[in-house]
């Protein structure tokens, strides 16, 4: 009975993690496995991580700022 409850909880947390991962443009399959194994810890991790598009925008802005400096 305990194993069944653990499996159900793993499926629930895995599904929640994969849904959040898809919204943040991350790999849903990997986050499903993370949520299945780690449970609420995986859910906290995916909720804390920023969207990948936001990271790419920040990186491109940083590159644009570095290019604007002139070498004398």
Each residue of 6-64: pLDDT tens digit? Answer: 999 999 999 999 999 999 999 999 999 999 999 999 999 999 999 988 777 777 776 66
Which residue range is the domain that position 46 belongs to?
2-67
**Any idea what DSSP says for residue 25?**
T
What angle do helix axes 2-23 and 40-48 make, rounded to 10 degrees?
Answer: 10
At 57 the pLDDT is 72
Alpha helix stretches (DSSP H) within 1-72: 2-23, 28-38, 40-48, 52-67
| 72 is a domain residue | no
Total domains in the chain come to 1
Mapping DSSP to helix (H, G, I), strand (E, B) and coil, where does residue 50 land? coil
Residue 17 lies in a domain: yes
pLDDT at residue number 34: 97
């Amino acid at each position: 009975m305990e194993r069944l409850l653990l499996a159900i909880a793993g499926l629930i947390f895995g599904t929640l993690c994969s849904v959040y991962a898809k919204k943040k443009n991350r790999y849903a399959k990997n986050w499903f496995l993370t949520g299945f194994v780690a449970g609420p810890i995986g859910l906290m991790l995916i909720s804390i991580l920023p969207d990948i598009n936001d990271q790419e925008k920040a990186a491109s802005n940083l590159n644009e700022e570095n290019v604007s400096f002139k070498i004398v």
